[in-house]
Structure formats: structure tokens, C-alpha cells
Amino acid sequence: MKFIDLVKTRKSVRKYTDRPVSRENIDICLDAARLAPSACNSQPWSFVVVDDKDTKDKLAEAASSGIYRMNTFIKTAPVIIVVITEKSKYVARLGGTIRNVKYNLIDVGIACDHLTLQAAELGLGTCYLGWFHEKSVKKILGIPNSKKLDLIISLGYPENPELKTKLREPLDNLRRYFIPGL
């Protein structure tokens, strides 16, 4: 698939079939994430993969409880990947403080984009969730409170694999070529 077609194929999938996802395919997606660039090559990420149905059901329930209930759709996903935002290397944190940039968040975003695009290439659907009950997720998975979870990703075969129209700003609205002297 041409890269631009892959980009157009990836979409947020909020309804999944029961078809299980092989660990081989999960690892291919995580490997794509692992190869992402990061500030000072910090690689500030790790992943907890939940594909055991009982735990996944509990996790989905807890993650989308209360004010997070708009995300109850994750209950249909056979796999949930919890992304741990780790600390950047010292030099990247120092640079980030000077520049007022959280490089580890940028890095995690890039890694997760690799993951979701790789998933799309395998015919898998994903959806980022930034809105979830972090404390409950940590409790269920035994993740220490000191860790930061900024994203979870649902993964599975989409119920509707058709392409979705992208609602995006036209390029002309967000790009200008700099013209010297103007």
C-alpha cells in the first residue's frame, strides 16, 4: 500500500468484531512503535497489552466508568494497549525544561502513530483514548501510581472496514509558503 493510502485507511474504529488478534500481529504493531524516533533517543514508552478477555472486560469497564462513559465502546475491542509515558533521558528533560516542551509526550504520540498505522496495514482497527479513568486502569493492572498513562489504544478487527471520509481542514487553510521580502 502506498503510504498516503495507508494514512487514509487509518481511522478511529469504535466497533470491533469478536475475531481475536494474534500476538504475532500485536507484536508487529508494537515493533513499529518501538522503532519510532524520540528526543535524544529516550524511547520514553512502554506498553501493557491486555488480551485476556476477563481482564480486558474489567479494564474496559473501569476505564470508561463515570465521566469517561463516552468511551464505553472499548468494551467491544478484543485488545487494549495501555501506553505508559516514561521519563525522557536527563538531557532531553533538561532541554525540554529550557524550551518548555514535554518531549516525552511528543515521542509517545509519534510511537503510537507508528502503532496505529501499522495496525491499519494489517487490516486492524484502533482508536486512541485520551479520556479514561487513569487511576482505575493502574489499579487493575498493578501499575504503580508514580507512572503516567496518557493514552490507551483499543485494537481489533473493525466491524466496518470501509474507508471513512476525513474531516480535516484543507491544506490551504493551514500552510503558507514563506515569501522572502513580503
Ligand X SMILES: Cc1cc2nc3c(=O)[nH]c(=O)nc-3n(C[C@H](O)[C@H](O)[C@H](O)COP(=O)(O)O)c2cc1C
Among 43, 64, 71, 118, binds ligand X (CB under 6 A): 71
134 and 149 Cβ atoms separated by less than 8 Å: yes
Would you count residue 11 as binding ligand X (CB under 6 A)? yes
Picking from 78, 103, 43, 60, the residue whose alpha carbon sits closest to that of residue 159 is 78
Would you count residue 7 as binding ligand X (CB under 6 A)? no
CB neighbours of residue 15 within 10 Å: 13
Binding window for ligand X (CB under 6 A); candidates: 6-14, 55-63, 89-97, 173-181: 6-14
As a three-state string, the secondary structure of 86-123 is: CCCCHHHHHHHHHHCCCHHHHHHHHHHHHHHHHHHHCC
- Binding pattern for the stretch 153-172 against ligand X, x by CB under 6 A and - elsewhere: -----------x-x------
> Which strand (E) or helix (H) includes residue 24?
helix 23-34
Q: Cα–Cα distance between 43 and 31 in angstroms, integer?
A: 12
Provide, rounded to whole angstroms, the least separation between the CB of residue 56 and ligand X. 17
- Binding pattern for the stretch 103-142 against ligand X, x by CB under 6 A and - elsewhere: ------------------------xxxxx-----------
Would you count residue 46 as binding ligand X (CB under 6 A)? no
Would you count residue 30 as binding ligand X (CB under 6 A)? no
Task: Enumerate binding residues for ligand X (CB under 6 A).
Answer: 11-12, 14, 71, 127-131, 164, 166
